[in-house]
Structure 1
Amino acid sequence: MRKWLPLTAVCLGAFMLLVDVTIVTVALPDMAADMSTDFAGLQWVMDVYALALAALLLGAGSLADRIGRRRVYLGGLLLFAASSLACGVADGPAALIAFRAVQGIGGAAMFATTMALLSAAYQGRDRGVAFGVWGAVNGAAAAAGPIIGGLLTEHFGWRWIFFINLPVCALAVWVTLKAVAESRDPRARGLDLPGMAAFTVGAAALTYALIRVGENGWTSAATLGLFGLAAAAFAAFVLVELRGSRPMLDLSLFRSPVFVAVMAAGLLLSGAAFSYLMYVSLWLQSAEGMSPVGGGLVLLPMSLAGFVVAALAGRLLHGASPRLTIGGGLLLIGAGALLQAWMLDPGDGWTALAPGLLVSGVGVGMATPALAATAMGTVAPARAGMAGGVLNTARQLGTALGIAVLGAVFHAGLADGLGGRPRELADALASGGAGRLLAEPGAREWIDAAFAGGLRDTFLVSGAMGLAGALAVALLVRRRPAAGAPVPAQGGAPAGAPAGAPAAAPASGRTSA
């Protein structure tokens, strides 16, 4: 059994990453009540973690290739543990958001190395078994996260969703020191610091602009200035990658229409399938009066359906065209969101969402494993690690941007549904204050109408994102790409995984350039 200790070390880290995303979703209403956090603050608690992952993932992979993957993984675990403790004792929303960003940095170091460590530790059949177990653990984490988060929040308080990471980190560090060997890439080049800086500034400016658009407006000087900064930073990133001697991203990969389709699909899948869940959680707990555990259970149909379908799709649809698996999956994700928009009326409860969540979960299960395999199949084996890293980055960025875009839509829908009442009430509802407002006579009717309007608009935009991804795949994927790196079908991101699910395991063991 000693040979499976490296797998144990890697799975502990991956489990923590995914549980931390879904745990926070169900704890947001309690955070808002305890820390008097406004709506933008709640968005940042979720967004800054995904943003740090997206911005630093490729750079962390490059650093790991150069100085050692085990070393970077251990550093990520220690930073994740320290920042989790800091999140748990944070005395205000600003501190919590800052420490969540640090947590994302630690998560990026772990995220960028887990697949490479497994590839270095196992060969042949053992590698396939390892990635199968790894995928199953990730899927279980995504499904268990809302329940664990609900139990901890309900019985011990929301701070324990961060404290629970400490013993898991300690165990992961001990097993890693005991059983995981160091590995490096002898051909690794230096870090692309200008590229990392430009991408980080661009992604942060774009996300911030979208989060603040509800308050500032789309045409305000602040919003336009932030969009301009984001455009300039992304343009600088492209120039750096084209002209730099050590680019972390080979832009020539985007000459392949299939690769472009896969990256667009990864970005839109995360935005369409998972980004609205925080707003659903706010509604369920603040307006419907559900407990954190109950709110977590409502989200299970998507996670469980995705997990089961992914396991079946890896076997039954292994040879199918990406137009069917990825395009069809995105079509179902879009249809599931639209079904929720159609079924939800003022006064309805959580049961109106269950069919749509189930349909979306089936779509996630179909599309996610095929995303990984197709990304690898479009590039030469030497670029498999970079392709996996770019896909992971696209998915994290999709989560961050999805939360910001849908937050603006949700807030606007709440305001429109107030029926002429002060728009300040939309801020209170979006910040988890519905329970307090329900004490007013006649408030139930207009609160139900406001949430129904906000959520319907959110689901409609989510559905449009899913359908747009399906259309992109249909137009750009003309044939099944030639086989690239031999990635096990079950090694893709598990179906139920929201923001942080890894994309694939590169056969070369590398996760970035």
Structure 2
Amino acid sequence: MSPSMTRQQQLVVAVAVLASFVAFLDGSIVNVALPAISRELGGGLTTQQWTVDAYLITLGALILLAGSVSDAYGRILVLRIGLIGFAVASVAIALAPDPVLLIVARAVQGAAGAFLVPSSLALITSSIRGPLQAQAIGVWTALTTAATIAGPVVGGLFVDYLSWRWAFVVNVVPIVITLWLLPRLEVRDERRAGASIDWLGAFLCTLGLGGMVFALIEQPNLGWSSTAIWLPLVLGIALFAAFLWRQGTVRNPILPLGLFRVRNFWTGNLATAFIYGALSLNGFVVGVYLQQGAGLTATLAGLASMPTTLLLIVLSSRVGVLAGRIGPRLFMTVGPLVMAAGSLLLLTVGVDFDYWWQVLPSMLVFGLGLGITVAPLTAAILGAIEPERSGIASAVNNAVARVAGLIVIAMLAAIVGGSLDLEGFHRAAIATAALMAAGGVVSFLGIRNPVRDPGADSDARSAPR
């Protein structure tokens, strides 16, 4: 960390990184643990889907609310509550005797996780100003990205040599360290006077998403004619529609619909929905199939996707600089199309499995496309909104990404044809490629590069045209 930061600023960054680290670590651990969870607790593909989606439902639905709660009650208080909740839920997951209790604990964990990432970033932006703020966010991004690398490998080692349960208990270590550091912060926990929270909106959003996802996951088992399917689906749609209506009328919405009047913002979020839906599908399917279909150990399955993440880390900052000079549209168009090509390379996976020739080329091409896409996508969305609203803009984009992953995983049975065998794996690869291509097309048609002032510095930006 740069010596130009004070000790307190370094401590703020350390707390923010550790608080977010557990959420990123858990999100990347779970995919390699899914086959072992299913083997021990039963439930097959449905248990695996709900293990992922129970977390994403509460995370996606409550991450917007978390910003309002953080402003109203203070970021440090919210961080402390989120950390304690995440630790308790992680221990409950590790002790779960059956799929139902595991899924309930995962939902609680997602709710706690929703309060960690926005609050940790808000702690940085409210405590560190000027050039050091960009440096602090860069450190936060690099170290939390490292969690996505460590997660599959750490999870795989625990699954192979101890138990999948220990893969969740490991979250408690950084949480305890963070809780020990929090009282040592000298940052004043500011609270917005007169702030109000749309609790009803959060309730409608959570139940609406839950009803729709339940129907999508359980439909292959019960059929569309079952009351247990169509009733939650209809109620879920109605409640989510009520949530959207309320966000247009309530004084302090958790989802400000006015943001979607900005072209680059709504277009970027639509591209996000396609791209991050595809990323969730790819991560789930590759993590599970490499173990259940190809016979790799959990550790090797975790290591299999590391080339993709390493390329993301190496390329992101460089591509971000280029996108700042020439605009994000080209990168947001080409990147997803490159990832689509990488997904299609997985069609070479056959009965006689060979990682080096059948999977590694896909991981490399996919990582190249991901590195081209991520930084310009984030810059286009946040750059479209005035700086004082960048926090809520970031929260909305994060929620869109989570909900997109949630819906795609809920539809997994339909995508793979009911079974994640070799044919299902190929079907998922094609679906991933189609979603990525859609993201590239949306970006090409909708994103506009910033208008430049000829007299300004070459790196200056103005509002999107």
Q: Mapping of 1:452-467 within 5 angstroms? A: 452-467=422-437
1:272 maps to which residue? 278
1:476 maps to which residue? 446
Note the residue ranges of structure 2 that are not aligned, 5 or more in a row.
1-5, 454-458, 460-465
CA–CA distance in structure 2, aligned partners of residues 260 and 185 of structure 1: 30
Per mean C-alpha deviation after superposition, the further-off stretch among 57-66 and 44-53 is 44-53
Offset at residue 477 of structure 1 (A) = 1.5
1:166 maps to which residue? 172
Offset at residue 221 of structure 1 (A) = 5.3
Q: Which amino acid aligns with 1:250?
A: P
Local SS of the residue matching 1:248: coil
Local SS of the residue matching 2:324: coil
Q: Which amino acid aligns with 1:55?
A: A
**Cα deviation per residue 1:258-314 (whole Å; 9 max; x = unaligned)?**
211111122222111232322222222223322111111111122112221213212
Q: Does 1:388 pair with 2:394?
A: yes
Offset at residue 315 of structure 1 (A) = 2.7
Q: Does 1:410 pair with 2:412?
A: no
**Cα deviation per residue 1:394-442 (whole Å; 9 max; x = unaligned)?**
1111121121223431243x3xxxxxxxxxxxxxxx5xxxxxxxxxxxx
CA–CA distance in structure 1, aligned partners of residues 386 and 191 of structure 2: 17
Local SS of the residue matching 1:318: helix
Offset at residue 111 of structure 1 (A) = 1.6
Local SS of the residue matching 2:195: coil
Q: Which amino acid aligns with 1:92?
A: D
Distance 1:234 1:110, change over 3 A: same
Query: Do the aligned partners of 2:332 and 2:373 also contact (CA within 8 Å) in 1?
Result: yes
Higher relative contact order (CA 8 A, sep 6+): 1
Q: Mapping of 1:481-492 within 5 angstroms? A: none
Offset at residue 181 of structure 1 (A) = 1.9
CA–CA distance in structure 2, aligned partners of residues 388 and 55 of structure 1: 14
Q: Does 1:233 pair with 2:203?
A: no
Query: Do the aligned partners of 1:51 and 1:203 also contact (CA within 8 Å) in 2?
Result: yes
Q: Does 1:27 pair with 2:33?
A: yes
2:341 maps to which residue? 335
Q: Which amino acid aligns with 2:319?
A: A
Candidates 326, 331, 350, aligned match of 1:345: 350
Q: Does 1:148 pair with 2:148?
A: no
CA–CA distance in structure 1, aligned partners of residues 158 and 239 of structure 2: 40
CA–CA distance in structure 2, aligned partners of residues 177 and 108 of structure 1: 22
Offset at residue 206 of structure 1 (A) = 2.1
Distance 1:482 1:398, change over 3 A: farther
CA–CA distance in structure 2, aligned partners of residues 33 and 97 of structure 1: 15
Candidates 43, 46, 55, aligned match of 1:40: 46
Distance 1:40 1:482, change over 3 A: farther
Per mean C-alpha deviation after superposition, the further-off stretch among 467-476 and 316-325 is 316-325
Local SS of the residue matching 2:164: coil
Candidates 72, 75, 78, aligned match of 1:66: 72
Query: Do the aligned partners of 1:213 and 1:408 also contact (CA within 8 Å) in 2?
Result: no
Query: Do the aligned partners of 1:64 and 1:72 also contact (CA within 8 Å) in 2?
Result: yes
Local SS of the residue matching 2:439: helix
CA–CA distance in structure 2, aligned partners of residues 278 and 111 of structure 1: 22
Query: Do the aligned partners of 1:65 and 1:185 also contact (CA within 8 Å) in 2?
Result: yes
1:420 maps to which residue? none
Query: Do the aligned partners of 1:64 and 1:184 also contact (CA within 8 Å) in 2?
Result: no
Note the residue ranges of structure 1 that are not aligned, 5 or more in a row.
415-429, 431-450, 484-488, 490-513
Number of aligned pairs? 447
Local SS of the residue matching 2:281: coil
CA–CA distance in structure 2, aligned partners of residues 119 and 62 of structure 1: 16
1:189 maps to which residue? 195
Q: Mapping of 1:196-207 within 5 angstroms? A: 196-207=202-213
**Cα deviation per residue 1:230-263 (whole Å; 9 max; x = unaligned)?**
3212221121111212212221211222211111
Query: Do the aligned partners of 1:273 and 1:333 also contact (CA within 8 Å) in 2?
Result: no
Query: Do the aligned partners of 2:265 and 2:382 also contact (CA within 8 Å) in 1?
Result: no
Distance 1:59 1:309, change over 3 A: same
Local SS of the residue matching 1:319: helix
Q: Does 1:11 pair with 2:17?
A: yes
Candidates 319, 336, 339, aligned match of 1:313: 319
Distance 1:127 1:84, change over 3 A: same
CA–CA distance in structure 2, aligned partners of residues 456 and 8 of structure 1: 42
CA–CA distance in structure 1, aligned partners of residues 413 and 191 of structure 2: 41
Local SS of the residue matching 1:210: helix
1:505 maps to which residue? none
Q: Which amino acid aligns with 1:406?
A: L
Offset at residue 462 of structure 1 (A) = 1.0
Q: Which amino acid aligns with 2:7?
A: R
Instruction: Give the TM-score, by structure 2 length.
Output: 0.91
Q: Does 1:357 pair with 2:363?
A: yes
2:90 maps to which residue? 84
Distance 1:481 1:22, change over 3 A: farther
Percent of residue pairs bearing the same amino acid type: 31
Offset at residue 381 of structure 1 (A) = 2.7
Q: Does 1:53 pair with 2:23?
A: no
Q: Which amino acid aligns with 1:75?
A: I
1:139 maps to which residue? 145
2:462 maps to which residue? none
Candidates 390, 394, 401, aligned match of 2:407: 401
